[in-house]
Structure 1
Amino acid sequence: MTATEAETPEMSRARAWLIATRPQTMPAAAAPVIVGVGLAYSAGVFSLGPAVAALVGAALIQIGTNLANDYYDAVKGVDSEERQGFTRVTNSGLIPAEQVKRGMILTFAAAILVGTYLVYVGGLPILVIGLASIVSGYAYAGGPFPLGSHGLGDLFVFVFFGVIAVVGTFYVQAAAVLADPLAMTIPEGTVTTTALLASLPIAGISTNILVVNNIRDLETDREAGKLSLAVLLGYRWSRVEFTGLLALAYAVPLYFFATGEFGGAILLPFLSLPYAALLARTVLTRTDGDALNPALERTGKLLAGFAVLFALGMVI
């Protein structure tokens, strides 16, 4: 649903809250867990409980970040009637601002609750990572120095929804198998070079969801004084960023195959390459919401498909 569509007074409160969570961004929460589980299975350290908790925690942090963005962009005047993106429930009046803020707080609190189990499994490192993820999710749009308004949103997504999410998912499973509970340091075998490399495709495509979003909103963000990285770089270099992150995603499976770390099945993500090429053509040639709103959703679908194929390649 886009901001240009007329809102109906009959819209249910449940529907409004569903819009607020931005379900089109949920692949960014699930994809790193899928890859982390595939990697853990291939390494012989798969553990169901920590894997499920990592998925729930990631989804809650994603939703909390979305609610924070919705609320703070509205109260700070970043959102406007000219915005071409998906409906923002605070700005459109579908949900009162204070309720959106309360939902954000409760969602992050639920993430902390889930995180207590992961801290028991993974110890102090998970406590540090979990708190940093929640603080950064809030600071993306809120606080005295909102990351998304100072050109740091892309870096935030790359690090927290890519590198840390994949490596953290692998870590809690490996820690459950290889280490005692409540570890104070990083146990041996729980953070590997392979996990770090495997996180890069997910980091790249997850960041591209934000790149598409920010290319679409470049003009309205500039007028509102929001300095997203797209505003700082402009259309040309934002598209270079998008293309470079896609190239990074497909380079990693190729590297794993070339080094012999995995067999030919690790190249399964290349089945998604034609879809990625069609998506890139849209991003490289269009700036309007009519084209980039579907492109944003398709980037999420590319992320989900790539993650499943990548994980399957590791397991096979």
Structure 2
Amino acid sequence: MSTGSTNDIRASLNERGGFHVWWRLLRPHTLTASFVPVFVGTMFAVIHQSGTIAFGLFLAMLMASILIQAATNMFNEYYDYVRGLDTEDSVGIGGTIVRDGIRPNTVLYLALSFFAIAVLLGVYICMLTTWWIALIGSASMLIGYLYTGGPLPIAYTPFGELVAGFFMGPVIIGIAYYIQTGVFTGEVFAISIPVAICIGAIMMANNIRDRVGDKENGRKTLAIILGHEGAVAFLAVNFIAVYVLTILYILTGLLPWWSLLALISIVHAQRAVRSFSGKKTPVDMMPAMKGTAQTNTFYGMLLGISLLISAILG
């Protein structure tokens, strides 16, 4: 590809050099998918802990979750490059290897170092709670690697959204709640479902955007199976399920009335679905990707804040 074409893509994606190269490698718009579950799980625990919280455990869990997510993004960058799936034209990636010239092994080693730090944080958490957390954490890290690594990457199958949603929803929320309270309940699992759906929606939006290129490279994602219009409709149904469940939980007392605040995020969900309509190129679908990520961010943050308000006001 010509230098001029590369510069055009950089301009359309607002890519800059310097520190921005490494910031893009983290894919920061996806990191809320690791922050939100820890925040929600911890705030739900606060309600049942009379407003108290173990800040050390919260911060350790939060940092470990973010590091694992960032490392997963780096493995994605590395293995998609190794398999020849990413080119200078690719949209939705960090572009650190194909456009900025960073050595692939540098990306791989950085991902492994992030995993190593997450392990140390996990040891700290286990020392203060239970070593069973180590088993669950190890499984989460393995899934993070296998999502795009290994002989059959999960991201290349129709199960990417389901796996990502489960491990970053019920699993992370469950751990965040457990390390604060020492128990895990059906209520915790229930409130994790809307968050899991939002996280899965981020993966779905990503696959809708990359559907054509993924199909050419032999992937069989859910977006490829459903087609563009079908996948967008499925995304809309998922968003509807998030808000229906939220209202149902409020009416049954599982969530406080303050959780109506989370419904404000509907505007981002609507914008995301509308932004996919009639769009054909990955660049044109970037606003839809942004809207989907914002839905997760605002829904999760507002839900967590509503739980905190409820705990403070009693």
Residue 82 of structure 1 and its aligned partner are, at CA, apart by 4.3
Residue 2 of structure 1 and its aligned partner are, at CA, apart by 9.9
Cα distance in 2, alignment partners of residues 308 and 257 from structure 1: 17
Given that 2:21 and 2:100 are in contact with CA atoms closer than 8 Å, whether structure 1 keeps it comes out as no
Given that 1:73 and 1:141 are in contact with CA atoms closer than 8 Å, whether structure 2 keeps it comes out as yes
Cα distance in 2, alignment partners of residues 3 and 80 from structure 1: 14
1:232 aligned onto 2:225: yes
RMSD: 2.3
The correspondence for 2:141, drawn from 134, 157, 165, is 134
Residue 77 of structure 1 and its aligned partner are, at CA, apart by 1.0
Given that 1:46 and 1:173 are in contact with CA atoms closer than 8 Å, whether structure 2 keeps it comes out as yes
Correspondence 1:248-267 to 2 at 5 A: 248-267=241-260
Cα distance in 2, alignment partners of residues 285 and 43 from structure 1: 47
* Structure 1 stretch displaced more, 283-292 or 75-84: 283-292
Residue 284 of structure 1 and its aligned partner are, at CA, apart by 4.0
Correspondence 1:147-296 to 2 at 5 A: 147-175=154-182, 190-296=183-289
Cα distance in 1, alignment partners of residues 55 and 94 from structure 2: 36
Cα distance in 1, alignment partners of residues 138 and 276 from structure 2: 34
Cα distance in 2, alignment partners of residues 263 and 99 from structure 1: 47
The correspondence for 2:112, drawn from 105, 120, 128, is 105
The correspondence for 2:37, drawn from 23, 32, 36, is 32
Q: Secondary structure of 2:122's partner?
A: helix
Q: Secondary structure of 1:133's partner?
A: helix
Given that 2:27 and 2:73 are in contact with CA atoms closer than 8 Å, whether structure 1 keeps it comes out as yes
For the structure 1 residues 3 and 136, does the alpha-carbon distance in structure 2 shift closer, same or farther, using more than 3 Å as the test? farther
Given that 1:3 and 1:84 are in contact with CA atoms closer than 8 Å, whether structure 2 keeps it comes out as no
1:50 aligned onto 2:57: yes
Structure 2 spans left out of the alignment, 5+ residues: 1-5
What TM-score do you get using the length of structure 1 for normalisation? 0.88
- Give CA deviations for 1:93-134 in whole Å, capped at 9, x if unaligned: 431111111111111111111111122233233111100111
For the structure 1 residues 263 and 202, does the alpha-carbon distance in structure 2 shift closer, same or farther, using more than 3 Å as the test? closer
Cα distance in 1, alignment partners of residues 8 and 141 from structure 2: 28
Aligned letter for 1:245? Answer: N
- Give CA deviations for 1:42-82 in whole Å, capped at 9, x if unaligned: 11163211111111011001000000000000000111344
Residue identity (%)? 28
For the structure 1 residues 42 and 222, does the alpha-carbon distance in structure 2 shift closer, same or farther, using more than 3 Å as the test? same
* Structure 1 stretch displaced more, 264-273 or 26-35: 264-273
Cα distance in 1, alignment partners of residues 158 and 120 from structure 2: 31
Matched residue count: 301
The correspondence for 2:23, drawn from 18, 23, 33, is 18
Cα distance in 2, alignment partners of residues 2 and 291 from structure 1: 17
What TM-score do you get using the length of structure 2 for normalisation? 0.89
Cα distance in 1, alignment partners of residues 168 and 8 from structure 2: 26
* Structure 1 stretch displaced more, 237-246 or 139-148: 237-246
Given that 1:213 and 1:292 are in contact with CA atoms closer than 8 Å, whether structure 2 keeps it comes out as no
- Give CA deviations for 1:145-201 in whole Å, capped at 9, x if unaligned: 2111122211221111112111111111112xxxxxxxxxxxxxx111111111111
- Give CA deviations for 1:201-246 in whole Å, capped at 9, x if unaligned: 1111111111111111101111111222212332233223312221
Q: Secondary structure of 2:285's partner?
A: helix
